């Protein structure tokens, strides 16, 4: 049975936790034996926490992870107990939230965003019985790792689509912060576009903030007014600004993290869609088996393994021949015939 687990945070902001299936689990068997969650075999239901930097219904980065986790929760049933927290974006809020879950004896804590990485790395060794994972991170320790996407591949496909449907020969890409995952996606986008049209003009802007929707809309407005006719966004809240601009300007856009066609059915041509279940499942199995400490500590979602998918195409935006060309690119990436580098 689902139930609400209320936790009082040691901070000004009170957060509501929504507990998953099963009753409140005791401390892990690993902790009881002194072996630690990263090394000990789990026999009790696994207590999992998902901390989201945004809203679980944002039709973007947060919703994709939330839906992936709820599907995993249903898949595992009584074997797991999951709690959720939304809108924990700033480090001042992240640290006490992570501590609270660790103090409560959670076995596996997901901090869904790069901003969780440094707080987690600072805290991890104080809680050896908890495994911590950072979304889109890159640092690891004995009981801390990360999960990420190979966004370069998804971006490459978006670049192919943008260059294929552009009538002006000018396309754009708007990101939030210039962090590794987003940078790689942008570089993939540019490479994919140039594979179709080596002379295509590409405007690129990093807004510096994933949540600044108005700034992203203003940026997209300027691009469209300057002749850009297709924009791909690689952000979270900024994506909503890009989609709104495309809708108002009557232009095309490509989206990221989740299928956002419902937001502007006549403007969203396609997009990158994250399926986080693969990474979540692999992490759970490693913690349950007690192999996390000796494993890779990195879980990847890629086009090749199905962790990155391409949203359905807008009807009429591409000809049958153009659609076949894009589909061939996706198939070649999945088969390994086309290798997309990890841009540094």
Return the SS3 of 148: strand
The reported pTM is 0.85
Domain ranges of the chain: 3-149+276-301, 151-274+313-335
d(CA 24, CA 21): 9
List the Cα angle 149/215/96 in 5-degree steps. Answer: 60
Strands (E), 193-286: 201-206, 230-233, 252-255, 268-274
Query: For 3-149+276-301, which CATH superfamily applies?
Result: Response regulator (3.40.50.2300)
pLDDT tens-digit readout, 13-58:
333 333 333 333 333 333 333 335 565 555 789 999 999 999 999 9
Is it true that 3-149+276-301 and 151-274+313-335 share their CATH fold? Answer: yes
Return the SS3 of 60: coil
pLDDT tens-digit readout, 241-277:
999 999 999 999 999 999 999 999 999 999 999 999 9
Return the SS3 of 93: helix
d(CA 69, CA 136): 16
Q: Give the number of residues written for the chain.
A: 344
Fold of 151-274+313-335: Rossmann fold (3.40.50)
Contacts of 88 (CB under 8 A, 6+ apart): 15, 51, 52, 53, 94, 97
d(CA 200, CA 224): 15
């Amino acid at each position: 049975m689902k139930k609400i687990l209320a936790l009082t945070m040691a901070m000004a902001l009170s957060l509501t936790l929504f507990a998953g299936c099963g009753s409140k689990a005791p401390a892990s068997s690993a902790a009881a034996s002194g072996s630690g969650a990263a090394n000990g075999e789990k026999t009790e239901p696994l207590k999992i926490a998902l901390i989201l930097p945004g809203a679980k219904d944002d039709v973007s980065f947060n919703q994709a992870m939330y839906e992936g986790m709820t599907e995993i929760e249903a898949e595992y049933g009584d074997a797991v107990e999951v709690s959720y927290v939304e809108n924990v974006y700033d480090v001042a809020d992240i640290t006490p939230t992570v501590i609270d879950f660790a103090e409560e004896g959670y076995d596996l804590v997901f901090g869904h965003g790069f901003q969780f990485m440094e707080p987690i790395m600072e805290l991890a060794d104080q809680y050896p019985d908890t495994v911590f994972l950072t979304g889109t991170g890159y640092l690891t320790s004995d009981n801390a790792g990360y999960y990420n996407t190979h966004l370069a591949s998804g971006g490459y496909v978006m670049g192919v689509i943008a260059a294929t449907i552009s009538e002006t020969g000018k396309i754009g890409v708007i990101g939030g912060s210039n962090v590794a995952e987003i940078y790689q996606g942008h570089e993939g986008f540019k490479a994919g576009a140039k594979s179709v049209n080596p002379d295509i003009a590409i405007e690129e802007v990093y807004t510096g903030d994933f949540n600044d929707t108005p700034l992203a809309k203003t940026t997209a407005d300027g691009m469209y007014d300057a002749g850009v006719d297709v924009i791909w966004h690689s952000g979270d809240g900024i994506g909503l600004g890009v989609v709104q601009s495309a809708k108002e300007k009557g232009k095309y856009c490509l989206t990221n993290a989740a299928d956002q066609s419902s937001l502007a059915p006549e403007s969203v041509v396609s997009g990158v869609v994250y399926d986080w279940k693969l990474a979540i499942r692999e992490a759970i199995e490693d913690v349950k088996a007690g192999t996390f400490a000796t494993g890779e500590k990195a879980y990847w979602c890629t086009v090749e393994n199905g962790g990155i998918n391409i949203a359905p195409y807008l009807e009429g935006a591409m000809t049958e021949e153009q659609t076949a060309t894009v589909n061939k690119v996706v198939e070649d990436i999945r088969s390994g015939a086309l290798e997309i580098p990890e841009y540094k």
